[in-house]
Amino acid sequence: MRQRGAPRSALPLKASRFPRSRYAPTSCSNSWLLSPVSQRHVAAQQAGFTLVELVMSLATTALVIVVLGGLIMAVHRAREHTYGLEDATTQARATLERIRFMISQAGLQAVNGQPIQPGLAIIPHRWGVLDMPDVLVVWSGGRQGGLADNGVLDREPLISELIVYGPDPAAPQRLVEFAFPSQTGELSFQASSFDSTILSLLESSAAEKLVLCDRVRVSQLNAYGWFAAATQANVRFQLETTPAAGAIAATSPGSPEWFALPWAQGVVSRLNGLRQTTVQVELQVLTRPPGGPFDDHPDRSLPFYDSVSRRHVYRE
């Protein structure tokens, strides 16, 4: 209680309701006025990373980059492999479909009373004692075909009517369809020079090339004895006719042996029978183009097979 007449300055001061904390910042800017706890807090805020922390952060970052890089490479390899499979399959199917179509257009021939024969032939490349049957000749009438609709022809084929399938002599990894529209001469399938004539035409300037597949697998044939090293495309054709000509010649028409021959679909009479000529095709296509990215297995390939039949009536 204030006594009457006492001055105001003599009144006792009341304590503050909110006492100042000993950690509260002061109005003075000098750090030496701060408490030890505040000084350590400010020092921690002003300090940088230590060398150990920098090394650990760099190691962690490098590990993340390596892992992500491996994942990206794996995804890219898988994509390239998938695209390679699709491209190889597309090229092989298109090639086999083209060959199948031309074989279906092959004409029939009966010259000078000889038995009917389809206009098909296979020419091998010979290396040493090995025969590489990699060239198929089709008498189709040209690139447009249509010779099969003309029935049995009593004449020799024209060179301009022939279509040839085989590796490109200049680049064996390419399977090519050859045509010779400027050649007007005749060429008999039974001629002794038939094989050599066709092979020389393939390397001549008269050959028009249509590339069907550019990913054919190529094998290297090492030098052996007197034979030099060679490069061979993995393409193979096989021609088979049933009943075979020798089996027909060894039997008499109308005999039990005649009827026992493997005529196509069992169609046979006393003097006639249905023969079938089958062309088998084997093609190995690389899943990746040679020299492409990630070419760690350059010889990895897919095999493709096809079989095409052409039937005709055999008349005695």
Q: Above 60 in pLDDT, residue 281?
A: yes
Listed residue (131, 228, 207, 223) closest to 162, CA to CA: 207
Amino acid (1-letter code) at residue 141: G
Separation of alpha carbons 69 and 67, rounded Å: 5
Work out the burial of residue 239: count CB atoms within 10 Å of its CB; fewer than 13 is exposed, 13-18 middle, 19 or more buried: middle
**Looking at the predicted structure, is the pLDDT value of residue 39 above 60?**
no
Question: What's 315's DSSP letter?
Answer: E
pLDDT at 12 over 70: no
Query: In which region does residue 306 sit, left (phi positive, over 0), alpha (psi from -120 to 50) or beta (all else)?
Result: beta
Three-state secondary structure string covering 158-215: EHHHEEEEEECCCCCCCEEEEECCCCCCECCCCCCCHHHHHHHHHCCCCCEEEEEECC
Per-domain residue ranges for the chain?
81-315
pLDDT band at 223 (very low <50, low <70, confident <90, very high): low
pLDDT band, residue 225 (cuts 50/70/90): low
The predicted structure's pLDDT at residue 204: 92
3-state secondary structure of 72: helix
pLDDT of 16 > 80? The answer is: no
Q: Work out the average pLDDT over 227-232.
A: 74
Residues whose CB falls within 8 Å of the CB of residue 231, separated by 6 or more in sequence, listed in order: 172, 218, 219, 220, 221
